[in-house]
Structure 1
Amino acid sequence: MVWLRACVTGVAMVSMLLLTACVNKEPQERVAFVQLLQARMSSAALTPIGKLSKPEKEAIGDYADAYEVITEFQDSLAQAALPLREVLSVETIRSVGEIVERKAGFEAARKTLADSAAKVQDARAKADKARGSLTLPPDLAPVYDGVYDEAVTAPAAELMEAASKMDAVARDALGVADFVAAHAADIQFVDGQTRVATPTLQQELNLRLQGLNAQSDGLEQARATLQQAVGGAPAAP
């Protein structure tokens, strides 16, 4: 019985030694996470930031949750941006006749733009809430916040701005379509050409078209933003 008790005691002591020998991997995981974030920050293609590989996920341990706050937002951003590529095709205009023909398309475009903008706002709010709940070490927080600003804050603002520019195009195009409809007797389309009955009416139409043309640079900027938001896939020409 004494011998048995000694064996049991020995097993307990071995267990204690094994528990004591457990290594705290957090410092190494934190260093790996900082290095990963710095590598992503210096990348020429920060948006999208990219998924973690299996070795990367293992290397950063529990910090993978903080990384996924960013990638989950970017997945949502890409989904919100995707329908806007169809809006770009609608907003690529070559004539007054096309504007009139696409009136319903411009109305639908404004609804799509509003829906996508709302989704971006929701995704940004969700990401900001998740970021606020993270408790990061002092040496990690500034690095993480830098990447967060580049991969979440800035892309959200850029897509919202792109949607606003595209909405302005759709709004002004609808203004042209309504103007033409209001003067249907004096504005006609013959062999692809627009014929206006009076110089005064022509001047009023030209002013509206000039305002629409002035937004072409903004539309191209929006196209570039959408290409980046959906991962570089080509947008509608």
Structure 2
Amino acid sequence: MTGRTLSRLHIGLVLILLALCGCGDEEATQRKAFIEFLQTRIVGKPGIHVPHLTAEETAAFGPYAKHYAVIADFNAALDDAVSKPMQQAIQNGTPHSLGEVVARRQDIAVVADGMAKMQAALDRELAKADAAHAALKQPDDLKPVYDAAYARDVTVPAKAWSEVFPDVEDGMKNMLALADFVAAHQNAVKIQGAMIQTSDPSLQPALTGMLDKIREKGEAVNKAQQRLNALIVGG
């Protein structure tokens, strides 16, 4: 091997090492930018925040933009499969009077059936996000910050939503039971505005029990919604 060949080989090795060093510096810069983003835009702020990345941020984070996509994709799926359907279901299916409990039985039944589907969708999306999270390879300085952001934007809201479903479903089922009870005893049970009365004293205990259950579940749903809202805004 000639001296010129050795010189060329040396230059080639130097260029490769410089390139590798440059890559390392670039990764460190991307990681630093991503950590700062997570700390200032998610972890360090009260409430739930899932900012949309700009083109500049996506470029600045490099491969870590895909790490953020795990959080963002879950929240997009949560919005489409749970939050929006829940809002629509409550808006369309919640009766505003005792008379509507009977008149809108079919709407109430649709809402009750939809709760199980929404819960299944939430469980599915959470499992997908958890699997993607577990598969991420992250340096020691990034991992705890990312884990905190993931808990804030994925784990905690998923748990909060899971606590809403049972009470809403039970509340709707209690309303269905009341509607069926009134239909079965329509000659003895009358609804007038906010009042429901029966001319048969033997029916009163069952009627009172159903009304109490509806009231209790209504209060539970309100409290669950308040907790969820406080979580979102950071109360």
TM-score (norm 1): 0.82
CA deviations over 1:132-182 (Å, ceiling 9, x no partner): 111111121111111111111111111121122211111111111121122
Kindly indicate whether residue 190 of structure 2 is the aligned counterpart of residue 188 of structure 1: yes
Aligned residues: 224
Structure 1: distance between partners of 2:194 and 2:147? 54
CA spacing shift, 1:191–1:167, aligned 2, 3 Å: closer
User: Partner residue of 2:102?
Assistant: 100
User: Would the aligned equivalents of 1:91 and 1:169 in 2 still touch at CA under 8 Å?
Assistant: no
Structure 2: distance between partners of 1:18 and 1:103? 75
User: Partner residue of 2:89?
Assistant: 87
User: Would the aligned equivalents of 1:120 and 1:156 in 2 still touch at CA under 8 Å?
Assistant: yes
User: Partner residue of 2:158?
Assistant: 156
* Aligned-partner residue type, residue 218 of structure 2: S
User: Would the aligned equivalents of 2:112 and 2:172 in 1 still touch at CA under 8 Å?
Assistant: yes
User: Partner residue of 1:235?
Assistant: none
CA deviations over 1:44-99 (Å, ceiling 9, x no partner): 3424x121122222221111111000000000000112111122124543332111
Structure 2: distance between partners of 1:31 and 1:177? 59
TM-score (norm 2): 0.82
User: Partner residue of 2:62?
Assistant: 61
CA RMSD, aligned part only? 2.9
Structure ranking higher in helix proportion: 2
For residue 207 of structure 1, report the CA deviation from its aligned partner: 2.2
CA spacing shift, 1:52–1:190, aligned 2, 3 Å: closer
Structure 2: distance between partners of 1:222 and 1:86? 17
User: Partner residue of 2:18?
Assistant: 21
User: Partner residue of 2:37?
Assistant: 36
Structure 2: distance between partners of 1:226 and 1:77? 14
* Aligned-partner residue type, residue 70 of structure 2: V
CA spacing shift, 1:71–1:228, aligned 2, 3 Å: farther
- Matches for 1:73-222 after TM superposition, within 5 Å: 73-80=74-81, 81-90=83-92, 92-189=94-191, 194-222=196-224
User: Would the aligned equivalents of 2:75 and 2:153 in 1 still touch at CA under 8 Å?
Assistant: yes
Structure 1: distance between partners of 2:194 and 2:217? 23
* Aligned-partner residue type, residue 38 of structure 2: L
Unaligned runs of 5+ in 2: none
More deviation, 52-61/8-17:
8-17
* Aligned-partner residue type, residue 166 of structure 2: S
1:55 counterpart SS class:
helix
User: Would the aligned equivalents of 1:166 and 1:222 in 2 still touch at CA under 8 Å?
Assistant: no
* Aligned-partner residue type, residue 127 of structure 2: A
User: Would the aligned equivalents of 2:99 and 2:193 in 1 still touch at CA under 8 Å?
Assistant: no
Unaligned runs of 5+ in 1: 1-5, 233-237
**Identical-residue share of aligned pairs (%):** 28
User: Would the aligned equivalents of 2:101 and 2:175 in 1 still touch at CA under 8 Å?
Assistant: yes
